[in-house]
Amino acid sequence: MKKKSKYGRNPKLNPKTHCVMVRFDDVEWNRFLTMYEESNVYAKAVFLKAHFFGQKFKVLKVDKTLVDYYTKLSDFHAQFRAIGTNYNQVVKELRIRFSEKKAMALLYKLEKHTIDLVKLSRQIVELSRKMYAKWEQQN
């Protein structure tokens, strides 16, 4: 009389016991790999079963240029915020450390650079709108 052990792994309810083997030539293998990579499924066996039994799978294509643009735009935004923080600190220091005449002269130079940053920011917003319009046309 054998006792049921309370240790070990629980048995699966529906174990996979049957194995099927498929052989491809080079052309078929390349085509299979292309389809498999586009599907973003985690295993080739899962992909084959889904394809064989007619289950739907989605192919998600990631536009690398859009991802690069987004990351660079995020980096630029972080730098822009840092400039704003530094701007406030500079204005406080100018007011404290320099005479009013000298501070106004330096603030005038700072104002010119700020105007350049605002123009650059508007160009970035316009480029982002164009990029979004192109993306909308693709989808």
This prediction's pTM: 0.48
> 113 and 77: one domain?
yes
> In this structure, are 39 and 92 located in the same domain?
no
pLDDT at 27: 93
Model confidence over 9-36: pLDDT tens digits?
888 888 888 888 889 999 999 988 888 8
Domain boundary among 21, 44, 60: 60
Q: Do 69 and 129 belong to one domain?
A: yes
Enumerate residues 6+ apart whose C-beta is below 8 A from 91: 107, 110
Ranges of the chain whose pLDDT falls below 50 = none
- Stretch (H or E) spanning 15: none
Q: 19 and 68 share a domain?
A: no
- State the residue range of the domain holding 21: 13-60
Q: Looking at the structure, tell me whether residues 69 and 134 fall in a common domain.
A: yes
Shared domain for 84 and 128, answered yes or no, is yes
Total domains present in the chain: 2
